[in-house]
Amino acid sequence: MKRVIIILSLLIVVSGLSVIAHAQGTVTPAWLSFVADGAAGSFSCTSGICHLGDERWFTSFNVSAGATVVATANNGPTIIRSPGTCTVDGTISQSVNTANGGGVLNEGDFGGGGGGGGGGTLAGRGGELSVGPGGLPVVSSGAKGAANGGPGGNAQSTATGQLHELLSGGAFWPIGGATGGVGGGNGSGTAGGQGGNGGGAVILVCNTINFTGTIDASGGAGSPAPAPNTGAGGGGGGGYVILSAINFTAKTGTINVSGGAGGSCNSQPTCGPGGAGGNGWSYFQTIQ
Amino acid sequence: MKRTFLFFLLAAVAVALCPQGATAQTTVTPGWLAWLGDGSENTYSCTSGTCVLGGEHWFSSFTVASGATVVNTTVNSPIIIRSTGACTVHGTISSSVNTARGGGMNFNGDFGGAGGGGGGGAVGALVEGANGFTTVGIGGLPISNGGLGGGAGAPGGPGNSVDTGQYHQILSGGTFWPVGGSAGGQGGCNGHGKCGGNGGLGGSPVILICSSINFTGTIDASGGPGAPAPVNYSGSGGGGGGGYVIFSALNYVANTGAINVSGGAAGSCTTTGCAAGGVGGSGFTYTQTIQ
């Protein structure tokens, strides 16, 4: 009887202390610890290409080796919440660089900025910014290339002081990196190369994550100059990847959040090359 | 012996139930004001002179020594410090153009004061001062109204200060990019191509979320003044709105420092035919003990 009382008492104390630990403010931000209710059942992509985007609440999530889950819509993240296990042995794409993913076609939020478009006869366009609420700039873009062949500027990568704001505060519509600027035209109706799409956002919040595959949220390359006296497009900014779980059984996979390369001139006259997109970032969170 | 066990059991139950009861009553601090970060950027200490720091940082401790100044020089960006250890501010933190050339806000703020309107320019011409910038939420919806720009020859209106019902929303709901007070409006033109003084910059937010806070220094998140009227018959600029300062900590060793979140003054009018801008609205301060 004494042993029972002692054990019971210790259990209650431990229970109490765990709540005190919660109160000490070390808990994971709610948006990175909510594993949802699994209302959409289980999801499994076992081979080929599976299309999936936006936020999904699965009981479990599986991407087998050799299979690819791709978001083909523009400007929408891939967010998976699961009270079960998320297994990624295959590939998840939020990039135009893998399985024709959509990526970002305008301003991003906390990914890299878009590279500037190179100048043709006319000036190129600056890359798109990554912006926060109200359209305020977060990450700067690359400058436009000047008329008569000026090169587009490289964009900024996301800094720690910027990405921490998203991690702790959350976002109600994560986007990713920004689009690169279009190259300058030739002044006779022919536009320069298109800017690359930004990489999107991939966020997994699961009870358990087993990640040995690949996640691609990289920015697309700028298009080359299409004709004489036109500029090349800027590269898209890299997106971001957040993996948050109570347990990680493996996190040895490969993540690509690099910015896209600027487009080349391909020896065209009066052409400025596009600037590179800025890099995005990745983050692993153990839920506390 | 039975009494000892009984006493121990009751004590254990009390320990267990007290914090759980508090949790059930939903008195716990909102998550964004309780997250101390992970300390991954290690210690930070500004011991003398001026140190530049902006954005959000996750330190294991944060110190601004007496006589030292940490300044956020980036426009439209907050200073947010999360620390698993102590935050000690005996010196100065500036997110204002008024101290150590801080960056401030040159556009719409969010939960700070609104910008004052610019003073009107010459009478008889379409030279009204610009409205002060309004503070806005997601989607650009207005929160606190900017002051109206003055009509020709008339003064600009004051920006609204943020009120309790407005700033409580950021305290409980959080935001992922706090920005502060709004910029003031530019003064009107003289009818001959010469325009009025620029609006003052808004003050940006300063947010400290730390295990403990020891604050005996100064934090400046005030709005900047409008610029004076540069030529006759032009208006002066409106003042920028004040930003905001939020402390959240488990323990306060001291909280006796000085905080400035006031709106900026209107630009001065010493020229002929000048109409003055309006003052910027005030921001707010808030102290939270993490529960």
B218-220 and A49-51 strand pairing? unpaired
Q: Is residue B13 part of a domain?
A: no
More confidently predicted of B20 and A84 = A84
Tens-place pLDDT, residues A210-236: 999 999 999 999 999 999 999 999 999
- Confidence (pLDDT) at A30: 86
SS (H, E, C) chain A: CHHHHHHHHHHHHHHHHHHHHHHCCCCCCHHHCCCCCCCCCEEEECCCEEECCEEEECCEEEECCCCEEECCCCCCCEEEEEEEEEEECCEEECCCCCCCCCCECCCECCCCCCCCCCCCCCCCCCCCCEECHHHCEEECCCCCCCCCCCCCCCCCCCCHHHHHHHHHHCCCCCCCCCCCCCCCCCCCCCCCCCCCCECCEEEEEEEEEEECCEEECCCCCCCCCCCCCCCCCCCCCCCEEEEEEEEEEEECCEEECCCCCCCCCCCCCCCCCCCCCCCCEEEEEECC
- Confidence (pLDDT) at B22: 38
Residue B125 C-alpha, separation from nearest chain A C-alpha, in angstroms: 33
Domains of chain A by residue range: 28-286
Tell me how crowded residue A234 is: count the other CB atoms within 10 A of its CB: 52
**Could you tell me the pTM of the whole model?**
0.81
B15 interaction partners in chain A (CB closer than 8 Å):
12-13, 16-17
pLDDT tier at B17, thresholds 50, 70, 90: very low
Q: How high is the ipTM of this complex?
A: 0.73
Q: Is residue B240 part of a domain?
A: yes
Q: Is residue B78 part of a domain?
A: yes
- A residues 129-168 near B, CB within 8 Å? 132-138, 159-162, 164-166, 168
- B residues 190-219 near A, CB within 8 Å? 209, 211
Q: Is residue B180 part of a domain?
A: yes
pLDDT tier at B44, thresholds 50, 70, 90: very high
Q: Is the Cβ of B141 closer than 8 Å to some Cβ of chain A?
A: no
Tens-place pLDDT, residues A32-85: 999 999 999 999 999 999 999 999 999 999 999 999 999 999 998 999 999 999
Q: Is the Cβ of B142 closer than 8 Å to some Cβ of chain A?
A: no
Q: Is residue B4 part of a domain?
A: no
Nearest residue to B232 via CA among B199, B267, B270: B270
Among chain A residues, CA nearest to B108 = A134
In sequence order, the 6+-apart residues with CB closer than 8 A to the CB of B150 are: B117, B118, B119, B120, B128, B129, B156, B157, B188, B235, B275, B276, B277, B278
Among chain A residues, CA nearest to B58 = A164
Closest Cβ opposite residue B176 in set A8, A161, A171: A171
Residue with tokens 């009861």: B21
Mean pLDDT of B240-258: 97
| Residue B160 to residue B146: CA distance in whole angstroms | 6
Q: Inspect the interface and report whether the beta carbons of B35 and A166 lie closer than 8 Å.
A: no
- Confidence (pLDDT) at B175: 81
- Confidence (pLDDT) at A17: 41
Residue with tokens 């600056």: A126
Q: Is residue B224 part of a domain?
A: yes
Q: Inspect the interface and report whether the beta carbons of B110 and A133 lie closer than 8 Å.
A: yes
Tens-place pLDDT, residues B58-116: 999 999 999 999 999 999 999 999 999 999 999 999 999 999 999 999 999 999 999 99
Closest Cβ opposite residue A138 in set B36, B175, B177: B177
For residue B157 the two structure tokens come to 């209106």
Q: Is the Cβ of B244 closer than 8 Å to some Cβ of chain A?
A: no
Closest Cβ opposite residue B35 in set A20, A29, A159: A29
Residue with tokens 């590179």: A276
User: What total of structural domains would you count in chain B?
Assistant: 1
Mean pLDDT of A181-200: 97
A13 interaction partners in chain B (CB closer than 8 Å):
12, 15-16
Which residue, among A2, A18, A26, A283, would best test binding to B if mutated, counting the most B CBs under 10 Å from its CB?
A: A26
pLDDT tier at B50, thresholds 50, 70, 90: very high
Q: Is the Cβ of A169 closer than 8 Å to some Cβ of chain B?
A: yes
- Confidence (pLDDT) at B66: 98
A130-131 and A137-139 strand pairing? antiparallel
pLDDT at A286 over 50: yes
Tens-place pLDDT, residues B184-209: 999 999 888 899 999 999 999 999 99
